[in-house]
Structure 1
Amino acid sequence: MLPVGAGAIGTQARTADSPVMRMLDELNHPATAAHILAERTMLHMLRGHCNSPIAGYADTTPDGRMSLFGMVFKRDGSAFVRSHAWGDPSDPATLGSRVAADLLHQGAMKLIDATRK
């Protein structure tokens, strides 16, 4: 399982810099951007931080649905909660929210809070 957003490259530019914005648009991969949004929405709802043992992986299934698998671990790996859901690729934030809500229902916050101590 991977850390949320692993392997994605982010770019930024001044919005008024049209030539650079056009160039960056060529680099954008909409499916990857949607996957990252689902993963980061999950992370945000879990209130994850740099030391949070949170993993997430979003992908698009052959039938066109988006899949998000999320896990939260106890620091020593002796306990974890996991969730897997599918959703509409045009609404990745809702999928991320659903997976986060399920993880929280299973006790993810207790595992995350233990890393803050």
Structure 2
Amino acid sequence: MQFTIIHLMISIVLFFVLFFGIAFILNMLLRMTWFMAFIYPIVVLFIVNKIQLLDYVHSTGKSFQRLWTDLTTLAVADIIILFSGLLGTIAAGFTMKTLRKKGYRMF
């Protein structure tokens, strides 16, 4: 299947909204504004990862080398999509800070 510019735009919006929502909900539950922004790189590693988690214990060197190869061979479209997810988590942090300043204590 061919990846078009329309797919890219929909994916960017989808990842932004998805991770904005996840970060917003985690912030409401944990009351830690930037928690998801710090956790997001780990989430990206799980998305990009093609190796089972247990392989990092059994063959650590090969697993991390494979992970590095997978990260460095990402397409530009994939990097843009993953970056939009990071922007969503950061936007959720700023939204929470703004809501707290305006007096919404439940956030």
TM bin (shorter chain): 0.3 to 0.5
Of the two, which has the highest radius of gyration? 2
TM-score when normalising by structure 2: 0.35
* Greater relative contact order (CA < 8 Å, ≥ 6 in sequence): 2
TM-score when normalising by structure 1: 0.33
